[in-house]
Chains A and B, each alone.
Chain A
Amino acid sequence: EPEVTQTPSHQVTQMGQEVILRCVPISNHLYFYWYRQILGQKVEFLVSFYNNEISEKSEIFDDQFSVERPDGSNFTLKIRSTKLEDSAMYFCASGKLSFGGGELFFGEGSRLTVL
């Protein structure tokens, strides 16, 4: 069964550094998402991406964040100048159809620890 894959599974970085989290969505999916989950808290929407552009973004997704689909398979989340409060599990997700049409599939997550 196809899966959304994410790398790295865990990244430790120093405050102020830049990190890039990578995702390979399911190949025939058209909609891509990043969510984050601070330990013990709910899953929070960051951004959605469709047709090579951001479709929706939350208040969390400020200028510190950016997303890119550099080729036909990867979908990346870049976090510039990381802060302690950026420590969280970041989930990538993809879907074949927009909501109302189909399931959203999550990757295993990338745990980011900012020291």
Chain B
Amino acid sequence: GENVEQHPSTLSVQEGDSAVIKCTYSDSASNYFPWYKQELGKRPQLIIDIRSNVGEKKDQRIAVTLNKTAKHFSLHITETQPEDSAVYFCAASWGSGGGADGLTFGKGTHLIIQP
């Protein structure tokens, strides 16, 4: 099955600086890589995703890069703000492809934005 590793487990950055979270995956057949933000006690919410036919995607201050050869993908947040403080999970899809594929999540990164 798919195995997703995520680093670091905790990341503290000064407000206004950039944050980078990295993930690796094991299944070369994975083709969908979402990133979720989870605030304390809340549901995970999708912030950005990327598919295997794309190397990079950007949405305002958030960007994701994918290296299929190396099987790693990264989340980049620029000009960080206090409201970016949360736990971020990366995920990779897996499955037979014939129906509802699953998502394997990384262990999460607790991002702390220091004022």
A and B are interacting partners: yes
Let me know if B32 and A91 touch, CB within 8 A.
no
Q: Decide if B45 is an interface residue (CB 8 Å cutoff).
A: yes
Partner of A43, one of B31, B44, B101: B44
| Residue ID in chain A nearest B110 by CB atoms | A40
**Given the contacts A100-B93, A104-B46, A106-B43, A43 and B99 also touching, CB distance less than 8 Å:** no
Would you give the shortest CB distance from A67 to chain B, in whole angstroms? 11
Q: A51-B99, A56-B95, A104-B103 are in contact. Are A43 and B46 (CB under 8 A)?
A: no
Partner of A48, one of B34, B38, B49, B102: B102
Cβ contacts under 8 Å, A109 to chain B = 43
B42 lies within 8 A of chain A by Cβ: yes
Interface string of B24-49 (1 = CB under 8 A from A): 00000001101010100011111001
Contact-residue bracket for chain B? 20 to 34
In the complex formed, the residue of A with least CB distance to B101 is: A99
Give the top 10 A-B pairs by smallest Cβ distance, nearest first: A48-B100, A55-B99, A55-B100, A99-B93, A99-B32, A31-B100, A50-B100, A50-B99, A106-B43, A45-B102
Which residues of A does B touch, CB under 8 Å? 31-33, 35, 41-45, 48-51, 55-56, 58, 91, 95, 98-100, 103-109
